[in-house]
Amino acid sequence: MRIRHCAVALVLGCVSAVAGAQVLAASGFKQGDESWSVQNGAGNFLWLATGGDPGGYIRALEIPEPSSLWFFSAPASFLGNKAAAYGGTLSFSMRSNWSPPEITAPHASVQLLGANGVLLALQGDVPPALDWTRFSVSLVADGDWKLGSVNGSAASAADMQAVLSDLLALRINGDFGQGVEVSGLDSVVLSAVPEPAAMALFLAGLAVVVGRARCRAGRSG
């Protein structure tokens, strides 16, 4: 049991190293709105010091008229050359007091706009709950990212890499129901694939765990 605990600690240390190497941009909203904004049909944009996931967070209220899909829009720290994000993830926490009926028309949960004018759109599956819900989006050409809108053709790896290499806008949808809702956003992290050195450390740690487990199994047998 002692060996197993040590091995787990080693793996956790490696995972931490990998995770630490991944972050390209992050917003935790501890001190303010960090220059985030809202776009389209939303107003009453606020930063709140408590109630987030954890700490502070930002929220906005949908404007009834004119009705249009609205987004939280990322600041400059998430934009520009983010080519390293290809293969990585965009993760965030959301909550909303939306109520049925849900928006039925296909719509984007996340949009990425490149300086080349290409828009990438990803349709989400599950809206957030009243409590904080964690989401993680893969930034890879897996057929889910579409060109122009969620009804467009699938984006290729080259399409995504071109957009991420000069990112003009990153938007996260805050509109889920056909009525008026208040939606909140927190703990946004844009992550890259692990750096080779960090990944090598992780794999080395994993090899130690497997080796020790085999040794233990051999002795017990």
Please report the pLDDT score of residue 197 as a whole number. 40
Q: Which residues have a Cβ under 8 Å from the Cβ of 219 and sit 6 or more positions away?
A: none
**Residue 37 located in a structural domain:** yes
Distance CA 168, CA 75 (A): 10
State the pLDDT at residue 67.
60
The C-alpha torsion from 59 through 88 and 20 to 196, rounded to 10°, is -170
Residue 207 domain-assigned (yes or no): no
pLDDT of 105 reads 65
Whether 77 maps to a domain, the answer reads yes
Query: What is the pTM for the complete model shown?
Result: 0.77
Among residues 76, 110, 86, the alpha carbon closest in space to that of 165 is found at: 86
pLDDT of residue 216: 47
The pLDDT value recorded for residue 185 is 97
Asked if the structure places residue 220 within a domain, the reply is: no
DSSP one-letter code for 126: S
Query: In this predicted structure, what is the pLDDT of residue 44?
Result: 84
Question: Which CATH number does the domain housing residue 95 bear?
Answer: 2.60.120.260
The per-residue pLDDT for 174 is 87
Q: How many structural domains are present in the chain? A: 1
**Confidence at residue 176, expressed as pLDDT on a 0 to 100 scale:** 80
Say which residues have a Cβ less than 8 Å from residue 161's Cβ, sequence separation at least 6. 83, 86
152 in any annotated domain: yes
pLDDT at 212: 46
Give me the torsion for CA of 93, 111, 32, 24, rounded to 10°: 80
Domain assignment present for 165: yes
Domain that holds residue 104: 23-202
pLDDT of residue 208: 42
Q: What is the reported pLDDT for 102?
A: 63
> Is the Cα torsion angle 198, 157, 167, 177 positive or negative in sign?
negative
Containing 4, the helix (H) or strand (E) segment is helix 2-22
Show pLDDT as tens, one digit a residue, over the chain (221 residues). 222 333 333 333 434 434 444 899 999 999 999 999 998 877 789 999 999 999 999 999 887 665 678 899 999 999 999 999 999 999 999 999 876 666 666 788 999 999 999 999 999 877 888 899 999 999 999 999 999 999 999 999 999 999 999 999 999 998 887 677 889 999 999 999 875 544 444 444 444 444 444 444 454 45
Predicted local confidence at residue 201, as pLDDT: 41
Q: Is residue 179 part of a domain?
A: yes
Q: Is residue 6 part of a domain?
A: no
